[in-house]
Amino acid sequence: MKEYPMNLQELKKEFATKKQCLDYIYKLRWPDGFYCPHCKYSEPPITVDKAKHKYKCRICWHQTSATANTLFRDTQYKLLPLWFQAIWYVTSEEKVIRALWLQKELGLGSYHTALNWVHIIRNVMGNSKNDKLKGEIIIDKCTIVNQSVLVAIEVSGAEIKRICLTRSNPSANNFAHFVRKCVASGSIIITDGNTVPDELSYKAGYILKTAHDKQKQVIEIVASISDILRHSRFRGSLQSYLHEYCFKFNKRNSESKFYEFMKIAIQVRSKVTQPYVEPHMRELHEQAYDYYMDKKLRKKILK
Ligand SMILES: [Zn+2]
C-alpha cells in the first residue's frame, strides 16, 4: 500500500470517493489485518457492512467500524473526501489556513463548518500520545499575543529539535502538569530555577538543572510564532494555533505531514472539541471509559 499522496492532485484523485477514504482509514488502522479493538481477537470477524468496513468480533461480539474511535467517528461518509482535502490544506500548507478561504476552496455551505473543521484539525495535531519530548528540555514561560504560554524545547547543543507550547498560567502546578504531559520521564529539565517545582525530580523521575544561558532558543521560537501570527492577521484561538505550529515544526523533516496527521487521527477517540482536560484527569476519564466498556461487555455475555 502506498502510504500517502505526494501532492494535492494525487490526493484529489486517490480520495475522490467515500469508499477510497474508508479503505485508506481501514488500512491505516489495521495494516496487518483486522483484530478486535476490544478483546484483540484476530481471526476474521463477522462482516456487518463490507463497504463501510463494519465488523463484529466472533468472541466478544464487539461491533466496530473503520471510523469508530477515530477523528472521523461522527463524520458523514460522503464528506470524507472533503475532510481529507481540508486536512491536506491545514497540515501541508506553510501559511495559516483561514476558515473563510477553506470554505470557498472546498465549496462548503457554511463558514461555521469550515471554522469548526480547522479548529478540530488543529486540536488533533496536539493530540499525539506517543510523541513526548525527551533528552535535554528547556522549560520556560513567555507571552504571545498578550497571553501567557508555557514552553518546552528539546535541544541538542544549540540546535532546537522539537517543541511543545501550551497556553496556561505559569503557576507551579500548571508547570508540573505541562512537563508530565509533554516530556518523557528520565529527561533533563533545564530551567532558570524558578519555574518547575522540585518535587518533579523525585515524584516523576526528571533530572532538574538550572541554567541561565538557555534563553535564546525560547526567544527564537516565540519571535517566529509572533511573526507568523502578525502577518496572518490571526483571529482564532491561540491554543489551537500553538498545536498547529508545534506539529509543523516537529514534523518539518517528514515527507508527508498529511500522513503524520492521519496516524494521529486514527487514534483520537473523539473530535477533541471538548474543553481541555488536565492530564491527570484524562487518565481518570480513560479508566472510567474502560470500566464502562467492561460493564457493557459483561452484560452482553450474561444475556
Ligand atoms: Zn472481541
* Nearest to 229, CA basis, from 243, 215, 245: 245
Cα of 61 vs centre of ligand 1, distance in Å, is 6
Instruction: Classify 282 as helix, strand or coil.
Output: helix
Tell me the mean pLDDT in the region 141-149. Answer: 90
Cα of 169 vs centre of ligand 1, distance in Å, is 44
Instruction: Quote the mean pLDDT of the chain.
Output: 85
Cα of 261 vs centre of ligand 1, distance in Å, is 27
Instruction: With cut-offs at 50, 70 and 90, classify the pLDDT of residue 277.
Output: very low
Cα→Cα distances 1→5, 8, 17, 23, 24, Å: 11, 18, 18, 11, 9
**pLDDT at residue 199 is higher than 60:** yes
Q: With contact defined as beta carbons under 8 Å apart, do 109 and 77 qualify?
A: no
Cα of 37 vs centre of ligand 1, distance in Å, is 7
Alpha carbon distance 77, 117 (integer Å): 15
| Per-residue pLDDT reduced to its tens digit, 49-87 | 988 889 999 999 999 999 998 999 888 999 999 999 999
**pLDDT at residue 289 is higher than 50:** no
- State the helix-helix crossing angle for 238-250 and 111-125, rounded to 10 degrees: 50
Cα of 76 vs centre of ligand 1, distance in Å, is 26
Q: Specify the pLDDT at position 275.
A: 36
Cα of 60 vs centre of ligand 1, distance in Å, is 4
Residue in the structure block whose three cell numbers are 515544526: 249
Cα of 170 vs centre of ligand 1, distance in Å, is 45
Instruction: Classify 143 as helix, strand or coil.
Output: strand
The secondary structure of residue 235, as a DSSP letter, is: -
Tell me the mean pLDDT in the region 101-117. Answer: 92
Cα of 49 vs centre of ligand 1, distance in Å, is 17
Cα of 24 vs centre of ligand 1, distance in Å, is 22
Q: Specify the pLDDT at position 189.
A: 92
Give 157 or 129, the one with higher predicted confidence: 157
Cell numbers that stand for 64 in this block: 466496530
| Per-residue pLDDT reduced to its tens digit, 231-244 | 776 666 888 889 99
Cα of 46 vs centre of ligand 1, distance in Å, is 11
Q: Specify the pLDDT at position 299.
A: 58
When mean pLDDT is compared across 6-15, 22-31, 202-211, the lowest value belongs to: 202-211
Give 287 or 198, the one with higher predicted confidence: 198
pTM score, whole prediction: 0.82
Cell numbers that stand for 131 in this block: 510523541
Q: Specify the pLDDT at position 4.
A: 92
Instruction: Classify 78 as helix, strand or coil.
Output: helix
Instruction: Classify 280 as helix, strand or coil.
Output: helix
**pLDDT at residue 276 is higher than 80:** no
Tell me the mean pLDDT in the region 37-55. Answer: 90
Q: Specify the pLDDT at position 158.
A: 85
Q: Specify the pLDDT at position 233.
A: 67
**Helix boundaries (H) for the chain:** 8-14, 18-29, 80-92, 99-106, 111-125, 172-182, 199-203, 215-231, 238-250, 257-265, 279-302
Cα of 118 vs centre of ligand 1, distance in Å, is 35
Cα of 262 vs centre of ligand 1, distance in Å, is 25
In sequence order, what are the residues at sequence separation of 6 or more whose Cβ sits closer than 8 angstroms to the Cβ of residue 81?
15, 16, 17, 18, 20, 21
Cα of 64 vs centre of ligand 1, distance in Å, is 10
Q: Strand 207-210's sheet: what is its strand order? A: 159-167, 147-156, 136-144, 188-191, 207-210
Alpha carbon distance 203, 206 (integer Å): 8
Tell me the mean pLDDT in the region 252-274. Answer: 82
Tell me the mean pLDDT in the region 166-188. Answer: 91
Cα of 66 vs centre of ligand 1, distance in Å, is 15
> What per-residue string of b and e applies to 69-101 under the rule 16 or more CB within 10 Å gives b?
ebbbeebebebbbbbbbbbbbbbbeeebbbbee
Alpha carbon distance 140, 152 (integer Å): 7
Cα of 293 vs centre of ligand 1, distance in Å, is 12
Cα of 297 vs centre of ligand 1, distance in Å, is 9
> Cα–chain-centroid distance for residue 113?
20
> Cα–chain-centroid distance for residue 161?
18
**pLDDT at residue 297 is higher than 60:** no
